[in-house]
Structure 1
Amino acid sequence: MRLTLGGILLFLTSCTASLPLVTTPRATAVPTAFQNPAADTATIARLDWQQFFADSALVSLIDTALRANPDLGIALQRVEQARAGLLVARGALFPQVSAGAVGSFDKFADYSGVGNSDTNDGLRQLPSIVPDLFLGFRSTWEIDLWGKLRSRRKAAYARLLATEQGRRLVQTQLVAQVASGYYELLTYDNQLAVLEKNRAYQERALEVVKIQKLGGRATELAVQQFAAQLLRTRSLAAEARQRIAASENTLNRLLGRYPQPIRRGRVLTMQTVPAAVSAGMPAAMLLRRPDVQQAELQLVAARADVAAARAAFLPSLTLGPYFGINAYTPALLLSTPGSLAYGLLAGVAAPVLNRSAVRAGYARSAAEQRAAYLNYQKTIQTGFEEVTTNLRGLENYREVADLRQQEVNALTNAVATANDLYRANYANYLEVITAQRSVLDAELNLTAVRRQQFLLLIDLYRALGGGWTVAQ
């Protein structure tokens, strides 16, 4: 049977046509609006982090983190790695030219047909050891007939853009982490202030009950109860100081520096949460979130990989020209034009016996494309979940904060009333202790609610894609 080049090409092309197409699950429709009646086309994510955060101390901390955080530096190096990968993919489209010098020698057998003569005396025309010297240029160039190399270049470019979005994602997360850590530090400061204030009240109450015991108006049990409450408050204060130290160390690590004091701005009670927060439209969120953009670009790269894998079944055309000077002795190497040598080697190669490996590569690329598509859908759904949860959380915790503030006010009045009644012998010491403990717990709970408000606001800003607009 006679095989022709056209027949081989037709056979290989028909094999690629029989490959299964990559199918992806049906996408869920994206909502046209968030579940928030106050949403409009504006969004807080349009604000730079320098404008979004009004505390100058926090702005300074974020600026330090963006300049020195190791994770952000690692993300930047990933961008450089992807940029180098793109240069490699681009270079594959052009001829590879190398310059070099090659030296070799061959020792021919006495009965070899190379270098022997047919003369009667049997003398060799060449010596038994023959050197071969070459100095010049060699090139290899794969002609991209089916777009395989162009697809690889497209995939590399998409991955470069994806790593840039990954760097922006790291920045948005870093901004949110620093801001959250800062407000947690302010929360612990406020908790310590509340504990110290109540400690002072409890110390005065203990002194009063000790005096009353000396006058016969109180018992040793009352003194022990007031002392036990004071000890509890002191232990809570010690725990708060430890939380402050741990929070400062965490912030310093995010800032890329060793432990040192953190400068604070306004205290937590002086910080305000906006009365209304605008999330904008879902389409704007999808365009701004770096993780969504990264997932989309990874999907583009995966599709290009599938196209390159399909093209790998088809034959590749490779050209190998060379040009230089060639001689069997150094004395003749520069004797041009006699020593000039040039040539061209062209070859067509296609997988035949190892097609299972090529098919496995195609199957892997197809699976990676489906996984990238599912990851893209998952990232979009995660974005909607985060935005909706934070919007609802801000609304609900605003009501919680108002109610907790009313609780603190009521219990503060109850402590004053209990003290007055105790001094007038209309209340016992247990009522005073209960009132003091209740107001302490209420103030600590109010502090935690305020912290949660700021954490929700920060996470909403991040979820909407805010935090990366400032150029580095």
Structure 2
Amino acid sequence: MNNNIRNLITYRRSFVLSCLAVLVFYSCVPTKVVREEDNSVPDLYNALATDTTNVAKVNWKNFFSDENLVTLIDSALVSNQELNIMLQQIDISKNEIRARKGEYLPFVSAYAGAETEKVGEFTRNGAVEQNLNIREDEAFPDPLSNFSLGLSASWELDIWKKLRNSKKAAVFEYLSSVEGKNFMVTNLVSEIAETYYELLALDNQLAIIEQNLELQKNALAMVKLQKQAARATELGVQRFEAEVLKNRSNKYQIQQQIVETENKINFLLGRYPQSIKRDSDNFIERKIDTVYAGIPSQLLENRPDIRQAEFELAAAKLDTKVAKAGFYPSLGIKAGVGLEAFNLKHLPSTPESLAYSLVGDVVGPLLNRNAIKANYQNANDRQLQAVYEFEKTILGAYVEVANELSNIRNLKNSYDLKRDQVEALTTSIDLSTRLFRSARADYMEVLLTQREALDAKIEIVETKKNQLLANVHIYRALGGGWN
């Protein structure tokens, strides 16, 4: 009875000491509170009444009506090198999950070994071995060999969820890489569409310059005839010739821009330079579709970069927990079972050659925990960085959408005015030419009218291009293009 009481007292003391040790570990662990993220957004864009109809939900193949553009985007999503590099990064993240998952499962290894050892006769071990018999009439072998074969296992018990949180953080990193890929797809679709519309605009500007060159050549011929009839001077001829040369120079500049724009599309498609199939006719008359922006809260669901930042924040929170668990003691178990003998013929003999072991240990940091503290502080700082990055991404997305909605409205008003301007100047070209023939206007009026008409036509092409680009930008800003 006394022995039982002693054992009970000893057990209680051990239990109390263990609890005190755990409390000491807990009390020495620093704690830093990082503020929660703010994912609130305004109810509306620029105080405009709107509903939940959102163009971001539209598949890009349905958003773009130009078949040539759809074909280009389809090809880019297969062959673009940067996108394929990102896909490999996703695979790397997936493998990281598998690696971290294995860390909190037992490690089992098989081993086999052979060794030979000769000790000096005048050493303690040598003196003992010289007078030792293994069995009757069987002396201790010299040199001594040892052969072993068996299994060993080790397992860290994840009592603080350090390993499981590390695995969950890897999962969030993987999801973040997937959203990063989606964001890259959105930008790739947008960039190809932008470049394609720039190419159409350049084609139209080139056509306008060629048409204007014909008008200027006719005007130059007319001025030369007027000079022969003494109704114009050499000054007028030289001014018209200079204007023709200027526009011919601009023509070559636009041709170079067309080559570079085509090559940019080819680069995005992962192929060497070649002609881009396109339909540049009726560019000015292209219909600009109405864009439905929905409500700002839908950005949290539709924008891949916002979701990417959200997953990065979730991973950072778990990394902080992992870093904090570094202050706590770890519990490990090691075990082994196998056969061991000094001679191969004895190896199968059991239980004589049977060897096994079982070890459990608890290890925890006690002194000089500077590295652990620094790692924990860094994890907290990275978590706070992720909070700011998440909030910055939401704010940037909202501002981007608000700017593009305003841009669309202003471009529409600008286009309507420029269209009227082009119509007026186109009519004035014919009027100025007829007046010049009848000597009721001088050559400068004809020259300036043609120049202003050319500039206005170039500007309206630019405005139409900007309208198309604005629709692409709002589609991207709302989170469309990846689904």
Aligned pairs (5 A) from 1:9-158: 9-16=22-29, 19-24=30-35, 27=38, 29-35=40-46, 37=48, 39-114=50-125, 116-117=127-128, 126-127=140-141, 129-158=143-172
For 2:327 and 2:408, locate their aligned partners in 1 and report how far apart those are by CA, in whole Å. 56
Give the deviation of 1:297 after TM superposition: 0.4
For 1:147 and 1:359, locate their aligned partners in 2 and report how far apart those are by CA, in whole Å. 19
Q: Residue 234 in 1 paired to residue 248 in 2? A: yes
- Does the 8 Å CA contact 1:38/1:278 hold for their aligned counterparts? no
Q: Could you state the TM-score of these two structures normalised by the residue count of structure 1?
A: 0.94
Residue of structure 1 equivalent to 2:260: 246
Regions of 4+ moved over 6 Å: 121-125
Q: Could you state the TM-score of these two structures normalised by the residue count of structure 2?
A: 0.92
Residue of structure 2 equivalent to 1:269: 284
Q: 1:309 aligns with which of 310, 317, 323?
A: 323
Which is higher, the Rg of structure 1 or of structure 2? 2
Residue of structure 1 equivalent to 2:21: 8
Residue of structure 1 equivalent to 2:7: none
Residue of structure 1 equivalent to 2:424: 410
- Give the aligned residue type for 1:216: A
1:10 and 1:103, CA in 2 relative to 1: closer, same or farther beyond 3 A? farther
For 2:423 and 2:133, locate their aligned partners in 1 and report how far apart those are by CA, in whole Å. 120
Q: Deviations over 1:324-369 (max 9, x none)?
A: 2222222322334432222212111112234110111101110100
User: What RMSD, in angstroms, separates the aligned Cα atoms of the two structures?
Assistant: 2.0
Structure 2: 5+ residue stretches without partners: 1-13
For 1:139 and 1:403, locate their aligned partners in 2 and report how far apart those are by CA, in whole Å. 80
- Count of residue pairs brought into register by the alignment: 464
Residue of structure 2 equivalent to 1:449: 463
For 1:172 and 1:306, locate their aligned partners in 2 and report how far apart those are by CA, in whole Å. 32
| Stretch of structure 1 that moved more, 185-194 or 325-334 | 325-334
Give the deviation of 1:53 after TM superposition: 0.1
Q: 2:200 aligns with which of 186, 194, 204?
A: 186
For 1:290 and 1:361, locate their aligned partners in 2 and report how far apart those are by CA, in whole Å. 30
- Give the aligned residue type for 1:97: V
- Does the 8 Å CA contact 1:199/1:234 hold for their aligned counterparts? yes
- Give the aligned residue type for 1:179: A
- Give the aligned residue type for 2:216: Q
- Does the 8 Å CA contact 1:317/1:346 hold for their aligned counterparts? yes
For 2:129 and 2:391, locate their aligned partners in 1 and report how far apart those are by CA, in whole Å. 79
Give the deviation of 1:139 after TM superposition: 1.6
- Give the aligned residue type for 2:93: A
Give the deviation of 1:116 after TM superposition: 4.0
For 2:114 and 2:431, locate their aligned partners in 1 and report how far apart those are by CA, in whole Å. 105
For 2:286 and 2:449, locate their aligned partners in 1 and report how far apart those are by CA, in whole Å. 28
Percentage of pairs with the same residue: 38
Give the deviation of 1:265 after TM superposition: 2.9
Q: Residue 259 in 1 paired to residue 273 in 2? A: yes
- Does the 8 Å CA contact 1:117/1:123 hold for their aligned counterparts? no
Q: Residue 440 in 1 paired to residue 454 in 2? A: yes
For 2:125 and 2:361, locate their aligned partners in 1 and report how far apart those are by CA, in whole Å. 27
- Does the 8 Å CA contact 1:325/1:334 hold for their aligned counterparts? yes
For 1:146 and 1:353, locate their aligned partners in 2 and report how far apart those are by CA, in whole Å. 20
For 1:328 and 1:433, locate their aligned partners in 2 and report how far apart those are by CA, in whole Å. 109
